[in-house]
Every structure is written in structure tokens, then in C-alpha cells.
Chain A
Amino acid sequence: MAKDHDYNVQAGEPVGVIAAQSLGEPGTQMVLRTFHMTGMAATAIATSGLPRIIELLDAKKMPSSPIMRIYLKESYSKNFAKADEVAKKISEIKMGSVMRRIVENFSKGKILVLLNSQAMQAVDLTARSVAARLSKEVGVTAKVGEHGNIVINTHTKNLKEVRGITVKITKAIVNGIEGAGRAMVVQDRNGEFYIESAGSNIEPVMQVEGVDPAKIYTNDLFATYRVFGIEAARNTLALELMKTLEDQDISVNDRHISLIADAMTADGTIQSIGRHGLVGKKESVFAKAAFEETVKHLINAAAFGQIDHMRGVTENILVGKQIPLGTGSVRLAIKNKESKKK
């Protein structure tokens, strides 16, 4: 019968290389292009396949398609109407998407915003709430005028300033949380409602009434790192890698994924794999020189009198020595009476 320790790795096993190969080979079979699926919820637009893997390993500051999954407190998650209310508080709507036209009156320093009533109804907004939010966001006095239009007094007659405010208004957020994107209520298999959104900004979302801050999920590694720390970021990284692979029906043993996630977060921050991250931190001059920018590294090392301890793989291959892996990692074996007793 196989015992638990039979599955442990042997000392000197190159686990990192094996992890890299285990992820690299399936990578060749993955879709190279970001593709879109039709008829699915907001999340379907998410970057998937190889581009997403690269994004994760490069530790990009912001995912190209950020996503949040917002779980709700119990009293909200059972009730669609209540869940929808929360979603409306979060869902980010820009002025540009609910207006028809914007007219500037430079001589009076006023701006008239003609609203698109259909678009307004679709997202349940009133002219009054839009005006209130505009006043706050842009710092002008916005009032509801006749025919439900919004009249803005800029308090200035300077052409440039008025135009500047117009631009600000078109870009202003009139509902929801900045960066949160379009939020939608989704029902899971157990019949509970949660919110999916096509943007990410977890800090303010966690403060929203009804949101369960202990369950909020974002694919934005750095946001998780900022708010919850390195361990949560590591978990997100591992989960995202696993999910991306599974979405393409590729199964990679979770040990490899865990190891990669651990390596990327080993110094307490999220490091990318490559010249600017893990490889760049390599101690050996030869290893760095063998990778990229050979001359630069050698000249620097010579100028500063650096020492290469020849402990890695690359530098030993380079000079023709045995590599310190597997049987090569053993220098001298001593039969120790004490270790035998154990």
C-alpha cells in the first residue's frame, strides 16, 4: 500500500522546473486569443486562456478585464428585490450613457444637459438624483430644469473653464461606485442571489449596506493584496491560475500552481516571473548574464567586484560543473548513528 510519505518529493528534486514545465506544456494548447462568448453574464467577457495566464504571471497591476463577485448578507441574498437594490447602488453609470445632448451657453456660463429618458428608465435613475450626484462629483450647481433636463450653473464665463466642465460632466459618474463597472444580480445553484460586476474597486464596495465584506472576490491581485494582505493575494493568484486552466479543460496538479503562487509571493509582495521579478532577483551574476543583457550584467559585476557562489543551475552548466540538483546536490553522505535512531 502506498503511504503518505511515498508521495513526498525527494530531496534535491527540481520542483520549480517541473512546475514550470507542467504549466508550460498545457500552455501550448491554450487559446492564444481572447474570445468573447455571447449570451452570458458580464463575467463571460473576462480575459481567458493564455493571455490571462501571462497577465497573472507578469503580475500586472490591473487585470485587463477586472471582475468582482459580491456576495450579500443573508437577508439580502434570498430576496431578488433587495439584492437588486444593492446592485443598483454599486453599478457604475457614467453621465455619457444616460444623456442625449449637452448644450453650452457660454455667455451665461450655463450648461444644459438633455437626458435620454429611455436610458434613464432602464437603469432606474431620476433627473433629480443625477443632478445631485453631478453637483457632488463635478463641484457645480446642477438643478432640474424644465422638461426634466438638467441645468448647470458654472459660475464662470471663461470659455475654457466652461468647456472643461462640460468634458468633466460627460465623464462624471452619476450612479454607483467608481470603477465598479456594470453590476448585475446573478442567482447561484442554491437559489441565492449575488452580484457580478465588470469592474473592480473593492474598498468602497465593502462599505455598501448589505454586502458581505468577508466574501467579496475580485480578480484584481493588487487590490486583494492592499486590502487583505499577501496571503489572500497568494490565494487569489492560485485560484485564478487554476480557474483559467480549468476553463480550457486543462488539468494541472494544484501542487504546481501552489508552488508558483508561493514563489511569486515569497518576499511579501507580488513579484512577476521574468527579468523584472523573480529572475532579476537571482543572486548569481552568470545566471543573470546567461538570461538577458549579458554584457550589462558582466560589466556591472566586474565594476563592483561581485562574487558568484555558484549555487544555482545556470551558472554551473555555464562553467561545465555538475548542477546542484538531484544526486548532484549531495556533496558528502555520512552514515550518522543518531539519524538512524530516529
Chain B
Amino acid sequence: MSKREHDLVPTHRILSRTEVNEVLSSLGITVGNLPEILASDPQAKKAEAKDGDVLEIDREDFGKSYKYYRHVVER
């Protein structure tokens, strides 16, 4: 059974290089400005994300759905 299927866990997806650039330029920020997620995080591991990747998170927050981004860091 996949842990990602928990009600509280949104889907995490690794963005490709081009997608990352699109997102960053549309927001007018650099990777360093994004919120972070540890590479050791259970969901980052599940998505097989590596240091430096950007994860797109499909959030469902108080009934509003939007995308959130987290920069994968190793610490």
C-alpha cells in the first residue's frame, strides 16, 4: 500500500528542467526562493527526487486547489 495515498498527502511530482524554468520565470523568482523539502522526506523519497530537483505539489487546502513548489535539498 502506497503511503502517498493518505488523505493528508497530496501528490508530489518532479518537474523537468524546462518546467522548472517556466514556473520560476512566471513567478519571477530563483530556485533559492522556493520553500524546501528534505531529500530524506518520505514523499521526496517516494517520488525518487534528488538534491536540486523541484517538486510540484497538488495542494487541496481548505477546499481550494492550487500548485505548490518545493525545492529538494539535502541537509
Binds B, one of A162-170, A258-266, A326-334: A258-266
* Minimum CB–CB distance for B70 against chain A, Å: 7
Within 8 A of A (CB), among B1-60: 1, 3, 5-10, 12, 35-38, 41-44, 57, 59
Known: A214-B6, A231-B10, A231-B57. A268 touches B62 (CB 8 A): no
A232 to B7, CA, bound (A): 9
A258 to B63, CA, bound (A): 12
- Answer yes or no: B75 CB below 8 A from chain A CBs: yes
Contact partners of A262 in chain B: CB under 8 A = 35
A229 to B10, CA, bound (A): 10
Known: A227-B42, A268-B73. A236 touches B8 (CB 8 A): yes
Cross-chain pair count, CB within 8 angstroms: 71
Contact A230 B62 (CB under 8 A): no
User: Would you call the interface of chain B mostly helix, strand, loop, or mixed?
Assistant: mixed
- Answer yes or no: A238 CB below 8 A from chain B CBs: yes
Tally of contact residues, A, Cβ under 8 A = 26
User: Would you call the interface of chain A mostly helix, strand, loop, or mixed?
Assistant: helix
Contact B36 A267 (CB under 8 A): yes
Contact A229 B44 (CB under 8 A): yes
Contact partners of B1 in chain A: CB under 8 A = 213-214
Nearest neighbor of B63 in chain A, beta-carbon distance = A254
Interface 1/0 per residue, A213-242 and B, CB below 8 Å: 111110000001011111110011010001
Tally of contact residues, B, Cβ under 8 A = 24
Contact partners of B38 in chain A: CB under 8 A = 230, 268-269
Contact check: which of B8, B36, B44, B61 meets A254 at CB < 8 Å? B61
A228 to B10, CA, bound (A): 10
Contact partners of B59 in chain A: CB under 8 A = 231
Nearest neighbor of A216 in chain B, beta-carbon distance = B6
* Minimum CB–CB distance for B11 against chain A, Å: 10
28 contacts between A and B (CB under 8 A): A213-B1, A213-B6, A214-B5, A214-B6, A214-B7, A217-B8, A224-B8, A226-B42, A228-B3, A229-B9, A229-B41, A229-B42, A230-B38, A230-B70, A231-B8, A231-B9, A231-B43, A231-B59, A232-B6, A232-B9, A232-B43, A242-B62, A258-B61, A258-B62, A268-B37, A268-B38, A268-B73, A268-B75
Nearest 7 A-B pairs (CB), nearest first? A229-B43, A254-B62, A232-B8, A268-B38, A268-B36, A229-B42, A266-B35
- A interface with B by C-beta (< 8 Å): 213-217, 224, 226-232, 235-236, 238, 242, 254, 257-258, 262, 265-269
